[in-house]
Structure 1
């Protein structure tokens, strides 16, 4: 049984991230008050990304006090959620859910309102869902993600400190935190199926991320 067994499709395109100009290639820009002034646009074929370059990113929202619930709290939450019902005791569903529960970083190259529900619920982020995600899709970001112009990473118990494009992949540097989560968005420099992303701490420890598109 694949992920599709659990997916309840509801493709509601939230119009979010304004695409402003077409000059030699698509440029997307937006002014941000907090972490970054803008998410830089993906390069056109006439102006490709350099082999190594620093990328701007946007922490579009965060919950500084979030802590992953206990296993007991998570089980109770899913059991009482009509979306899951008896699936909670299904072995294949449990294996599927562990992908979200045991990763502290989730990456996305597609957007859909329904498709965000499993990553939120199964990772334990349900307690902050109402306060966090609406801030990240208030312009045209959802369409930009689906168009391949924007990528998104959720960090749990980590904080982003640097992002670079190195040869053929994104290299994100993070630092661990006792609590908190961040939603990080950045312009894509490629168009491959699986986001080529590596995440490490300042000390070089690898933080495994899970490609949460499904």
Structure 2
């Protein structure tokens, strides 16, 4: 049953994804995570591989938590708001902002630990499939929460991708390079298609008023 109150609460969240910019930015971050695995795979076994993967990923997560929203907001001011209107989102200020960044980093690490604990005892080959399953379920949940059906398609792709990487069974760390790299590309492609549709179906409000 459609809940009008819940739908109204989710509407500002859906508007954040109306132009595909957030998906493209998020896909870029996921692609960078896959790149850290790829760089680690090119390095000889030793401490440098662990440093690239173990330190590079938390740095990317913490920096992206600050940078992505700023970049997306700037692009929306130039592309989205002149076409379909401005929405004021609440932004934390001062120390609260950095607390939120640290919280996001902590949650990312907590999720990683939780996935590790849940997957304990699974064969190493199965891990990419398990990771893809967890990603797919999380994306599907987000899509259901804010009412974006395309997220279900991306979630299904994540599950399928994890299964394919599991079947290919490349040596570590290439399974995760493929998984996160292709996952990031999927988000970028999804966002680009949404952006293309958005640009074709809308026009700047000033241009629309001048035609009347």
Q: TM-score, normalised by structure 1?
A: 0.24
Structure scoring higher RCO (CA < 8 A, sep ≥ 6) equals 2
Q: TM-score, normalised by structure 2?
A: 0.24
**Whose strand fraction is larger, Structure 1's or Structure 2's?**
1
